[in-house]
Amino acid sequence: MLGALYQLGLLLLLFCSGTQIRSGLRRSESKTVGWVFTIGMLLPFLAGIGLLRVLNLRSLWGPHGNAASFLLVFAIAMAVTSIPVISKIMHDLGILDTAFARVVLGVAVAEDVVLYVILAVALGLAQGSQGALFGLPSLLRISPGTPADMAYHVAATLAVLAVALAFGPRLYRVTVQSRLNLIRLASPVAYQLVFMLGATLLCLFVGIEGFFGAFVAGIAVGAAEEASPAAIVSLQGFSFAFFIPIYFAIVGLQLDLLHGFSIAFFLLFLLLACAVKAGSVYLGARLAGETSGTSLNLAVALNARGGPGIVVASVAYAAGIIDQPFYAALVMLAIVTSLFAGSWLAHIPKERLLAEQPVPAWPLPWRAGKDSVPEPSDP
């Protein structure tokens, strides 16, 4: 029963995260988001791959882990950013409608989409090598663990994402407006759950991890104009009140800090992950023309791993890609970085964050010859 609640909590968490994937950027902010996302995602991912070539972490593999799946999980852990945690922090601080918050959430949204695509591929590579495949891969007679299996999981995951982004909102819109949709007429919340579970089952048939289906279903529901905001709020309400807390509680039950957990390794991993991620975001923000103060605040905010970091740890551990000590290190990394980001932003004067507007266009800061935050206009 706890296992069923755990899986349902994970699906609802990913579905609710998908409903938050909406574009609310202004043109003047898109350049900053583009630079920070590109540099802040690519450099940590490449750094994770490079570290595995230098460090021998074979001992951290789980029973079903292999070189490809562990490499992807390790690289994701270096680059992940949390949408729910950082949005809740900025909501509590009263800065959620500012340009600074829009840039942070815009980057976090793009990173989470890439994160869950890569994580789905990693799980497919790990599970494909465990035994016989089922669903569409079995019908295509793809042998598990072969190069064809790896290529199929990559192509299938990208194809599902592309189809969901192109046709998902339209499909949801048509089914919502249909008079034959008795579930929607009786309860909009119930139909959103049916839509989520249908996408989950479809992904399982295609050979992709089920949580990815819940995530893309959330994207489709959030992007559809006919989606009932009240239904989404209600679904998020009971999800975060019951199912998702149970999911995190079971994550905590699996966390063992007494047997095999190395404090020295965790501190080293914490320093490396934070330095690489924060440094990459800072560099991307500076290349976009942001001031040093804004770049530093962006670096700290986007270093919060939060819920997505715990999801990466829990699903990779459940799939046998990583072992228990590394699972504990990933969960602790998510907790520590989220607490630090909240504490950092809470001690910055609100007026300073409100004044941190993205630079609308060139020149770059070293060409402008000025590196100061503009004073806010007098209301």
pLDDT in the model for residue 21: 67
Query: pLDDT tens for residues 110-128?
Result: 888 888 888 888 887 776 5
Minimum mean pLDDT range among 67-81, 91-105, 293-307: 91-105
Of the chain, the percentage scoring pLDDT greater than 70 comes to 85
For the cut 90, the answer to whether the pLDDT of residue 283 exceeds it is: yes
pLDDT in the model for residue 36: 92
For the cut 50, the answer to whether the pLDDT of residue 374 exceeds it is: no
pLDDT in the model for residue 229: 79
Beta bridge partners of 322: 61
CB neighbour list of residue 74: distance below 8 Å, 6 or more residues apart? 48, 51, 52, 57
For the cut 60, the answer to whether the pLDDT of residue 92 exceeds it is: yes
Dihedral sign of CA atoms 57, 59, 61, 64 in order: positive
How far apart CA 111 and CA 117 sit, in angstroms, is 10
How far apart CA 157 and CA 120 sit, in angstroms, is 7
CB 215 within 8 A of CB 14: yes
Whether the predicted model's global pTM rises above the 0.85 cut: no
Which domains are delineated in the chain? Answer: 2-362 (1.20.1530.20)
**Helices marked H in 140-187:** 147-177, 182-186
Query: pLDDT tens for residues 53-88?
Result: 888 888 889 888 888 889 999 999 888 887 767 777
Mean per-residue pLDDT of the chain? 82
Categorize the per-residue pLDDT at 134 as very low, low, confident or very high, splitting at 50, 70 and 90: low
How far apart CA 220 and CA 227 sit, in angstroms, is 9
Query: pLDDT tens for residues 313-370?
Result: 988 998 889 999 999 999 999 999 989 988 888 887 766 666 555 544 333 343 344 4
